[in-house]
């Protein structure tokens, strides 16, 4: 019977990235996935690599900024080991806020002067001619431009899976973990709906399902997000990511555009609602009128792993040998590189290069 040093529960981008990292550190790794690898939250994500201080919780900023810096090398390594091309774009993000929202400024700043803001909006409109003339219709007051990247999450997840396979990481899919086995007070493996796997290290990366796996009840919950993908009438018709209060637009290099997304407390219901998808589409057309010509390719819903305080759960549990990396909510794609790095350090007994006390499971 084959032996492993570590078992990772969950084959989303967090679990796959960590499996690759643990393999690099010399561990024999098995990933156990209840469904199809990479087809839950990672598949449904938009892929905005948001590390702006104005849009990131203070406790998360250090990790977010570090992970954003790591992303180009992370993508390069995955492409090199997998042979999968990843659409990583560095064009930037335009953030728009409504005139009556009172948002769009960084913390501690007052709303900008309307004349200066109008000039900025005119400049942004020149960057994105397809946008509605938001400088002239009075709806928009605050706006700023961010040097953010975005990535196609499906490419990243497919590349991480292929890289793990290339490195000899084992994967058992369609295998639901029913519990972590504990022997002599330590983690000894997992029990699934099919069999048992043994290892002295277990890491729970099961996303929204992490809290359903005994014996440790992590307070994760699913937060539903509905979104759609269209084909733009012209490739590069919109080049930048555009974020507005009602909708965000994420162009892909092949001419597709992702439009999202809702945040719903709907349990584990992944159904899409036609009226919700149409509402998102109308909000996108309100920003870019020519999107009325765009053909809808698909619509879907994903379940983000939420926590009570909106922060991930990272580190050791009270059970020796049992670790957790879950609850990344909207930031799983962004935080994959840094999560793999610090969790690899924690699992192998090293001091993590970033403080993880704010993310400890014991805080709950």
User: pLDDT tens, position by position, for the chain (364 residues)?
Assistant: 689 999 999 999 999 999 999 999 999 999 999 999 999 999 999 999 999 998 999 999 999 999 999 999 999 999 999 999 999 999 999 998 875 544 443 333 334 444 455 666 677 778 888 987 555 555 654 678 899 999 999 999 999 999 999 999 999 999 999 999 999 999 999 999 999 999 999 999 999 999 999 999 999 999 999 999 999 999 999 999 999 999 999 999 999 999 999 999 999 999 999 999 999 999 999 999 999 999 999 999 999 999 999 999 999 999 999 999 999 999 999 999 999 999 999 999 999 999 999 999 999 9
Q: Tokens in use for 41?
A: 């939250």
Contact status, residue 13 vs residue 44, Cβ threshold 8 Å:
no
**This prediction's pTM:** 0.93
- 221-306: what fold? D-Amino Acid Oxidase; Chain A, domain 2 (3.30.9)
What phi and psi values does residue 152 have, to the nearest 5 degrees? Answer: -85, 110
Give the helix ranges, DSSP H, for the chain: 13-24, 41-44, 61-82, 114-127, 153-167, 274-287, 332-347
Minimal CA–CA distance to 200: which of 27, 34, 44, 25? 27
- Distances in Å between the Cα of 290 and the Cα atoms of 162, 275, 286, 356 are 38, 21, 9, 46
Contact status, residue 285 vs residue 277, Cβ threshold 8 Å:
no
Q: Tokens in use for 47?
A: 């892929």
Question: Do 6-86+152-219+308-363 and 221-306 come out as alike in CATH topology?
Answer: no
Architecture in CATH for domain 6-86+152-219+308-363: 3-Layer(bba) Sandwich (3.50)
Minimal CA–CA distance to 331: which of 11, 51, 28, 40? 51
Domain ranges of the chain: 6-86+152-219+308-363, 93-146, 221-306
Cβ neighbours of 153 (radius 10 Å): 26
HEC assignment per residue over 273-284: CHHHHHHHHHHH
Cβ neighbours of 95 (radius 10 Å): 23
């Amino acid at each position: 019977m084959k032996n492993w040093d570590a078992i990772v529960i969950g084959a989303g981008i967090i679990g796959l990235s960590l499996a690759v990292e643990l393999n690099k550190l010399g561990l024999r790794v098995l990933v156990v996935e209840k469904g199809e690898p990479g087809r839950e939250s990672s598949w449904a994500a938009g892929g905005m690599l948001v590390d702006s201080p104005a849009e990131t919780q203070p406790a998360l900023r250090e990790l977010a900024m570090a992970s954003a810096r790591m992303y180009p090398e992370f993508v390069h390594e995955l492409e090199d080991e997998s042979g999968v091309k990843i659409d990583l774009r560095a064009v930037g993000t335009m953030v728009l806020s409504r005139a009556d929202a009172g948002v769009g400024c960084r913390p501690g700043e007052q709303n900008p002067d309307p004349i200066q803001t109008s000039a900025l909006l005119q400049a942004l409109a020149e960057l994105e001619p397809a946008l509605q003339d938001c400088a002239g219709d009075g709806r928009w007051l605050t706006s700023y431009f961010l040097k953010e990247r975005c990535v196609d999450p499906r490419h990243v997840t497919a590349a991480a899976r292929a890289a793990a396979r290339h490195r000899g990481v084992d994967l058992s899919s369609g295998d639901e973990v029913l519990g972590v086995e504990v022997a002599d007070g330590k983690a000894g493996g997992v029990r699934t709906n099919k069999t048992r796997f043994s290892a002295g290290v277990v890491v729970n990366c099961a996303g929204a399902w992490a809290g359903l796996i005994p014996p440790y009840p992590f307070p994760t919950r699913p937060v539903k997000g509905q979104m759609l993908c269209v084909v733009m009438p012209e490739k590069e018709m919109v080049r930048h990511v555009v974020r507005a209060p009602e909708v965000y637009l994420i162009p892909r290099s092949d001419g597709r555009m992702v439009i999202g997304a809702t945040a719903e407390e709907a349990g584990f219901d992944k159904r899409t609602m036609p009226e919700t998808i149409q509402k998102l589409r109308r909000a996108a057309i309100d920003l870019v009128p020519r999107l009325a010509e765009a053909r809808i390719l698909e619509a879907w819903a994903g379940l983000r792993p939420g926590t009570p305080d909106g922060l991930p759960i990272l580190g050791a549990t009270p059970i020796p040998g049992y670790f957790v990396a879950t609850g990344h909510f909207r930031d799983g794609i962004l935080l994959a590189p840094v999560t793999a790095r610090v969790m690899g350090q924690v699992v192998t007994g090293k001091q993590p290069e970033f403080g993880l006390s704010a993310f400890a499971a014991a805080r709950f």
